[in-house]
Homo-oligomer: A and B are copies of this chain.
Amino acid sequence: MKWIAFLLVAVAAVATVIANSAPASGHADEEAAQVFVTKIPTGYRDWKLVSVAHEEGDLNDIRAILGNDAAVKAYREGYLPFPEGAIIGRIAWSYVASEENDKIFGRRQSFVPGPPTASYLQFMVKDSTKYAATGGWGFAQFDKNGKPADEALLKTCFPCHEAIKARDFVFTRYTR
């Protein structure tokens, strides 16, 4: 039986090498090599908090940025680049005044999340091989029904994130 086990391991190893080298060798054209995340990462709503933000203008949202354990560990320990498997998630809700709170406080003061925005969920998934063409990050966006954004939109992610290359293409800083 020993030689069969050895053979299986050898075949698996060769298959892995072929699989991992295929994307790089198969696409000389960077544009063609862009691949995106198509599934909402499991359990993201349970992840730890990275930070919060408010975006004005067209976005007009209030947002939370969460990270899976690999992402949060790197953030907290302050190392870059983010490790393989790190995922950063961003939830955006429309930015609305809380009439309920303001009434109690006696003045217009409190702004809270309203319904999900059109770009409700966004994710960056670190996989240096699969997403080599976009800084090792796979980008994703889903609306409130879980529908992924089309590729034309997702292709606009990396050109903007490229400006923050010094922080491994990640805008959000961890907030203590």
Contacts and interface: CB of A to CB of B under 8 A. Distances in A.
A63 interface: yes
Instruction: Say how many copies of this protein the assembly contains.
Output: 2
A48 B46 contact: yes
A104 B176 CA distance: 24
A18 to B, nearest CB: 39
Contacts of A112: 51-53, 173, 175
Contacts of A100: 171
A49 interface: yes
Interface string A145-176: 00000000000000010011000000101011
Given A56-B110, A104-B160, A104-B164, 4 more contacts: A53-B62, A54-B54, A100-B171, A113-B175
The 8 A-B residue pairs with the shortest CB-CB distance in the complex, in nearest-first order: A54-B111, A113-B175, A104-B163, A52-B52, A57-B109, A53-B112, A56-B109, A52-B64
26 contacts: A45-B49, A46-B48, A49-B49, A49-B66, A52-B52, A52-B62, A52-B64, A52-B113, A53-B98, A53-B110, A53-B112, A54-B110, A54-B111, A55-B109, A56-B108, A56-B109, A56-B110, A56-B111, A57-B107, A57-B109, A93-B175, A104-B160, A104-B164, A104-B171, A112-B175, A113-B175
